[in-house]
């Protein structure tokens, strides 16, 4: 998600009355409601990590250059401390996923390399204490980078050359590090749950969800039946929130709405791709509703 769209106050009331009508749920709306119901409510906070190291690798089979910024934040829990022998035993055991590495994998973006050519960059945030071990221990470094590459492949469905990588000596990061929204979780409790292999990605919402209220919202399709033309997101914006405090970010498949930390961040993936260039966002103070119209890409 890369494109931010401004919010306009101009709106036709008749359009809003039409858009607010109650319609019978379709199969698409049922899926959308399931999607919205699955939004994680685990308390979380927004953090900006600091640089750690930068790794250059390549995608397969097209051999395109890709950079991974390994960045650091104390908001990510540190995995339990183990020796090299313990790590070897774990990796050779029937359950290698018994050792988990918490990390936050950011979205890819385009940055310029040292020659000025565009290259894809991903930020991966980890605990700084664990990073110290990765820096000084070759075994842990090899293990960790393998886990990172596998995590990127699983999340974004591309293939990396696992053997062809270089740790840059003179640069700790490429481009500006992005903020991460980190869930506040106890790593011990996490490890007691069902374990995915080797990696635990920390997901999130915003700075102090324990005390902040939620913005009430819904997402639905238009028209209610037939071929879908656009998605309509409707948010109940409290009168205490000024227009200048709203920050709306709509990507091709994701929407984020922030109210300058006054309420919980609304963050969800869209069930279909939308056209970022023609998003229509309008706030009506008569009913304190924000309407975001997102044309669907067919």
Quote the tokens at residue 232: 């309509």
The three-state (H, E, C) secondary structure of 80-94, written as one string: CCCCHHHHHHHHCCC
All residues at 6 or more sequence positions from 167 whose CB lies less than 8 Å from its CB, including other chains: 53, 54, 55, 56
Looking at the fold, whether 74 and 174 belong to one and the same domain comes out as: yes
The pLDDT value given to residue 35: 52
DSSP state of 251: -
**Packing angle, helices 84-91 and 138-156, rounded to 10:** 40
Looking at the fold, whether 78 and 179 belong to one and the same domain comes out as: yes
Dist CA 120 CA 109 (whole Å): 6
| Residue 3, in any domain of the structure | no
Looking at the fold, whether 52 and 34 belong to one and the same domain comes out as: no
Looking at the fold, whether 18 and 65 belong to one and the same domain comes out as: no
Looking at the fold, whether 49 and 197 belong to one and the same domain comes out as: yes
230 lies in which domain range? 13-41+211-295
The three-state (H, E, C) secondary structure of the chain, written as one string: CCCECCCECCCCHHHHHHHCCCCCCCHHHHHHHHHHHCCCCCCEEEECCEEEEEEEEEEECCCCEEEEEEEECCCCCCCCCCCHHHHHHHHCCCCHHHCCEEEEECCCEEEECCCCCEEEEEEEEECHHHHHHHHHCHHHHHHHHHHHHHHHHHHHCCEECCCCCEECCCCCCCCCCCCEEEECCCHHHHHHCCCCCCEEECCCCCCCCCCCCCCEEEEEEECCCCCCCEEEEEEECCCCCCHHHCEEEECCCEEEEECCCCCCCEEEECCCCECHHHCEEEEECCCCEEEEEEEECC
Residue where one domain finishes, among candidates 155, 180, 201? 201
Looking at the fold, whether 75 and 186 belong to one and the same domain comes out as: yes
Can you give the length of the chain in residues? 298
The pLDDT value given to residue 116: 84
Strand partners, 126: 72
The pLDDT value given to residue 182: 73
Ordered per-residue pLDDT tens for the chain, 298 residues: 444 443 433 334 333 333 333 333 445 445 555 554 544 444 557 788 999 999 999 999 999 999 999 999 998 889 989 999 998 888 888 777 778 899 999 889 999 888 888 899 999 999 999 999 999 999 999 999 999 999 899 888 899 998 889 999 989 999 989 888 776 554 444 344 434 444 445 544 333 333 467 888 888 888 877 788 999 999 999 888 888 889 998 988 888 898 887 788 888 888 888 998 899 999 988 888 999 999 998 7
| Residue 206, in any domain of the structure | no
Looking at the fold, whether 52 and 194 belong to one and the same domain comes out as: yes
Looking at the fold, whether 170 and 188 belong to one and the same domain comes out as: yes
| Residue 265, in any domain of the structure | yes
* DSSP 3-state of 97: helix
In what helix (H) or strand (E) does residue 120 lie, and over which residues does it extend?
strand 118-126
Looking at the fold, whether 54 and 166 belong to one and the same domain comes out as: yes
Q: Are 296 and 241 in contact (CB under 8 A)?
A: no
Put simply, whether the predicted model's pTM sits higher than 0.75 gets the answer no
Split into its structural domains, the chain has a count of 2
Residue among 34, 33, 23 at smallest CA distance from 225: 23
Looking at the fold, whether 245 and 180 belong to one and the same domain comes out as: no
The pLDDT value given to residue 260: 82
């Amino acid at each position: 998600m890369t494109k931010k769209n401004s919010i306009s106050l101009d709106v036709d009331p008749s359009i809003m009355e039409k858009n607010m009508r109650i319609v019978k749920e379709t199969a698409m709306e049922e899926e959308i409601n399931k999607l919205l119901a699955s939004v994680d409510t685990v308390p979380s906070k927004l953090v900006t990590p600091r640089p750690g190291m930068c790794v250059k690798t390549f995608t397969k089979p097209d051999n395109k250059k890709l950079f991974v910024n390994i960045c650091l934040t104390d908001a990510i829990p540190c995995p339990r401390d183990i020796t090299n022998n313990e790590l070897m035993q774990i990796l050779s055991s029937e359950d290698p996923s018994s050792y988990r590495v918490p990390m936050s994998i950011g979205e890819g973006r385009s940055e310029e390399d040292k020659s000025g050519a565009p290259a894809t960059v991903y930020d991966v945030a980890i605990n700084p204490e664990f990073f110290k071990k990765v820096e000084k221990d070759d075994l842990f470094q090899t293990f960790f980078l393998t886990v990172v590459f596998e995590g990127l492949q699983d999340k974004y469905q591309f293939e990396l050359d696992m053997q062809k990588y270089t740790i840059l000596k003179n640069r700790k990061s490429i481009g500006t590090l992005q903020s991460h929204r980190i869930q506040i979780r106890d790593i011990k409790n996490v490890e007691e749950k069902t374990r995915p292999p080797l990696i635990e990605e920390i997901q999130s919402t915003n700075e102090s969800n324990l005390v902040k209220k939620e913005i009430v919202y819904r997402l639905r399709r238009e028209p209610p039946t037939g071929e879908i033309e656009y998605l309509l997101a409707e948010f109940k914006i409290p009168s205490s929130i000024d227009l200048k405090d709203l920050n709306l970010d709509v990507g091709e498949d994701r929407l984020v709405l922030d109210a300058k930390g006054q309420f919980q961040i609304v963050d969800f993936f869209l069930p279909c791709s939308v056209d970022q260039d023609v998003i229509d966002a309008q706030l009506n103070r008569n009913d304190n509703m924000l309407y975001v119209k997102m044309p669907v890409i067919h």
